Amino acid sequence: MTLTETIAAVRAKRCSAVEVVQQSLDAIEKHNERLGAFISVEGERALQRARDIDARIAKGEPVGPLAGAAVAVKDNMCTAFGTTTCASQILSNFRSPYDAAVVERLEAADAVIVGKTNLDEFAMGSSSENSSYCPVRNPWDTTRVPGGSSGGSAVAVAAGLVQGALGSDTGGSIRQPAALTGITGLKPTYGRVSRHGLVAFASSLDQIGPLARNVRDTACLLKVIAGHDPRDSTSVGCAVPDYTALLGADLKGLTIGVAAGDFGKGLNDEVCKAVEAALGVYRDNGARIVEAHLPHMKYAIACYYLIATAEASSNLARYDGVHYGVRADRHEGIVDLYCASRDQGFGQEVKRRIMLGTFALSSGYYDAYYLKALKVRTLLARDFEAAFEQVDVIASPVSPVTAFKLGEKIDDPLAMYLADIHTTSVNLAGIAGLSIPCGFDADGLPIGLQLMAPHFAEERLLAVGHQFQCLTDYHTKHPPQST
């Protein structure tokens, strides 16, 4: 069942929360060794929460809007239960003293968190191969990647291990794995969802969002986790609409913008045809497709990898074996302690990004690289503002290719970084982006359509995505490696 179907079934007593959670735990035990979706599982805690929900339903007491749903959270979100590792050896024994804001809101809504999902270490990657525990495997073909960095959350949903999950998106880390695993993923507007308790990668880009089977389930999760939080200085205090109630909004006269640069060199032919066919579905149902003028889009990937790495260099300075993180056993003096602890604790990709960011911020290079990237970011945001005066949403591919083979790009950082070429601009501009399934390639691998909307226009984005899912059935397909 989908998330909303599960919630309805538990409320109607057609099944119990304990049955839902036990089925999820059984599926994880059966499939996780092959898929690598979870780092940790909280079985007994989850079952106890499910028993409490069932007891309240039996007594006729009120329960939350997500009562009985089995969900997962990415392991870069703090939980007072279990560990929060960010899939890194440097945090392998870290236990948070508090819950992230989104964890609090999920549990207040009576969702049952069954475990913490795998990811690229510190959310740095596009394939979920950079985990210090194990790579995550795509349930459509376990020789291929699921995308990253929220690959564990995407696979947990796609394989039917849970009904919904949370991921984080810094440059496409929700949307890209959603596209490559055939599910729906939303990167909300920057400031829409509290980042309190999210372990920082790049603070001006990071945003938490939901992954689920379809748009309706995604809207249901967003409604719970969105809203102002005074503990997050970047959280915006605007009202949260009822996203699920607005899914049937009248879209007559819808105008979809398309940037010509998104369909150029480097885009896989099958991905191009599937996205164009998806736009044809909208056109056939009354939408107008026009060109969106985004002249600075071509600089987005370079701009992103300067800003993101610079912020990562600053944020990860705290992991030194003293303030946070595992301490090296052998060292001579405080400087050697820092160096040895970081060398042992961080993986190759994290080290690479720290060095890139430190270089971009260093004396003599700050103005030439980091400051210039900030100026380009402003121009890119203005491009989107101007475009949204002419169109309702902007459409593009999510990923230039379908899921590639494990190990295919791991030794080629530039090729790996280019996997984010269609997604990073959304984070740089701070707008909302949605990935929905729109087709399959010749190997049966999913293809995603990206829809983008202005700041705090998630209800518009979800309504447009829901319309597509009412007209197609791509989101109903299940991978071979699923429950």
Report how far residue 71's alpha carbon sits from residue 2's, in angstroms, rounded to the nearest whole number: 11
Task: Pick the catalytic residue from 173, 235, 399, 425.
Answer: 173
Task: Pick the catalytic residue from 16, 74, 128, 187.
Answer: 74
Q: Report the number of secondary-structure helices (H) and strands (E) in the chain.
A: 15, 11
Report how far residue 309's alpha carbon sits from residue 363's, in angstroms, rounded to the nearest whole number: 16
Among 46, 8, 48, 83, residue whose Cα is nearest residue 162: 46
- Amino acid 192 reads R
Among 296, 281, 222, residue whose Cα is nearest residue 472: 281
Report how far residue 240's alpha carbon sits from residue 249's, in angstroms, rounded to the nearest whole number: 16
CA distances from 424 to 308, 429, 454, 466 (A): 10, 9, 15, 23
CB-based burial label for 111 (10 Å; 0-12, 13-18, 19+): buried
CB-based burial label for 52 (10 Å; 0-12, 13-18, 19+): middle
- Amino acid 166 reads L
Report how far residue 94's alpha carbon sits from residue 118's, in angstroms, rounded to the nearest whole number: 15
Asked about 173 being catalytic, the answer comes back as yes
Q: Which residues are CB-contacts of 20 (< 8 A; sequence separation ≥ 6)?
A: 6, 10, 50, 68, 69, 70, 112, 163
* Contact indicator for 155, 136 with CB cutoff of 8 Å: yes
Using alpha carbons only, what angle is made at residue 149 by residues 220 and 374, rounded to the nearest 5 degrees? 95
Report how far residue 6's alpha carbon sits from residue 28's, in angstroms, rounded to the nearest whole number: 18
Whose tokens are 């009412």? That residue is: 470
HEC string of 384-396 equals HHHHCCCCCEEEE
Task: Pick the catalytic residue from 96, 127, 131, 149.
Answer: 149
Q: Which residues are CB-contacts of 180 (< 8 A; sequence separation ≥ 6)?
A: 138, 145, 146, 147, 154, 399, 402, 403, 445, 446, 448
CA-derived radius of gyration, the chain: 21
Pairing of strands 255-258, 288-291: parallel
Question: For residue 141, what are its two tokens?
Answer: 């073909």
* Contact indicator for 187, 429 with CB cutoff of 8 Å: no
Asked about 74 being catalytic, the answer comes back as yes
Q: Which residues are catalytic?
A: 74, 149, 173
